[in-house]
A and B are shown apart, each in its own frame.
Chain A
Amino acid sequence: MMNKLILGRYIPGDSFIHNLDPRAKLVASFYFIAIIFLCNNFASFGLMFAFTLFAILLSKISVRFFIKGVKPLIWLILFTVILQVLFSQGGEVYFKWGIFTISEWGLKNGAYIFIRFVLIIFMSTLLTLTTPPLSLADAIEYLLRPLKAIKFPAHEISLMLSIALRFVPTLMDETEKIMNAQRARGVDFGEGNLMQKMKAIVPLLIPLFVSSFNRAEDLAIAMEARGYQGGEGRTKYRVLHWEKNDTFVVIGFAILTGLLIWLRG
Chain B
Amino acid sequence: METPLIELKNITFKYHGEEEKNALNDVSLNIYPGEWVALIGHNGSGKSTLAKTINGLIVPNAGDIFVKGEKVTEETLWDIRRMIGMVFQNPDNQFVGSTVEDDVAFGLENQGVPREDMLTRVKDALEKVRMSDFMIKEPARLSGGQKQRVAIAGVIALRPDVIILDEATSMLDPQGRKEVIDTIRKIKEESNLTVISITHDIDEAAYANRVLVMREGEIIQEGTPGEIFSHGEELIELGLDVPFPEKLKAALKEREIDVPDTYLTEEGMVDWLWTSGLNK
Interface residue ranges, A against B (CB under 8 Å): 133-134, 137, 162-163, 165-166, 169-170, 173, 214-215, 218-219, 221-229, 233-239
Contact = CB atoms under 8 A, between A and B. Distances in A.
B151 to A, nearest CB: 8
Given A166-B95, A236-B115, A226 B102 contact: no
A228 B102 contact: no
Interface stretch (B85-93, B174-182, B203-211): B85-93
Interface in B62-99: 78, 81-82, 84-86, 88, 90, 92-99
25 contacts: A133-B98, A134-B102, A166-B97, A169-B138, A170-B139, A218-B94, A221-B52, A222-B86, A223-B106, A224-B57, A225-B86, A226-B81, A226-B86, A226-B96, A226-B154, A226-B155, A227-B110, A234-B110, A234-B112, A235-B118, A236-B109, A237-B101, A237-B105, A237-B109, A237-B118
Interface size class of B (residues with CB under 8 A): 35 or more
Q: Kindly list the 10 A-B residue pairs having the minimum CB-CB distance in the complex, ordered from nearest.
A: A222-B94, A218-B93, A237-B105, A169-B140, A226-B107, A227-B110, A166-B98, A225-B86, A233-B112, A215-B93
A56 to B, nearest CB: 27
B140 A226 contact: no
Contact of A226 (B52, B98, B110): B110
A235 B115 CA distance: 7
B257 to A, nearest CB: 47
B95 A218 contact: no
A236 B139 CA distance: 20
Contacts of B122: 237
Contacts of A219: 93-94, 96
B252 interface: no
B138 A235 contact: no
B195 interface: no
A193 to B, nearest CB: 35
Given A170-B140, A235-B114, A221 B88 contact: yes
Contacts of B111: 227
Given A221-B88, A225-B86, 17 more contacts: A137-B98, A165-B98, A166-B138, A218-B94, A219-B96, A222-B94, A223-B106, A225-B81, A226-B81, A226-B85, A226-B154, A227-B81, A229-B110, A234-B110, A235-B108, A237-B101, A237-B102
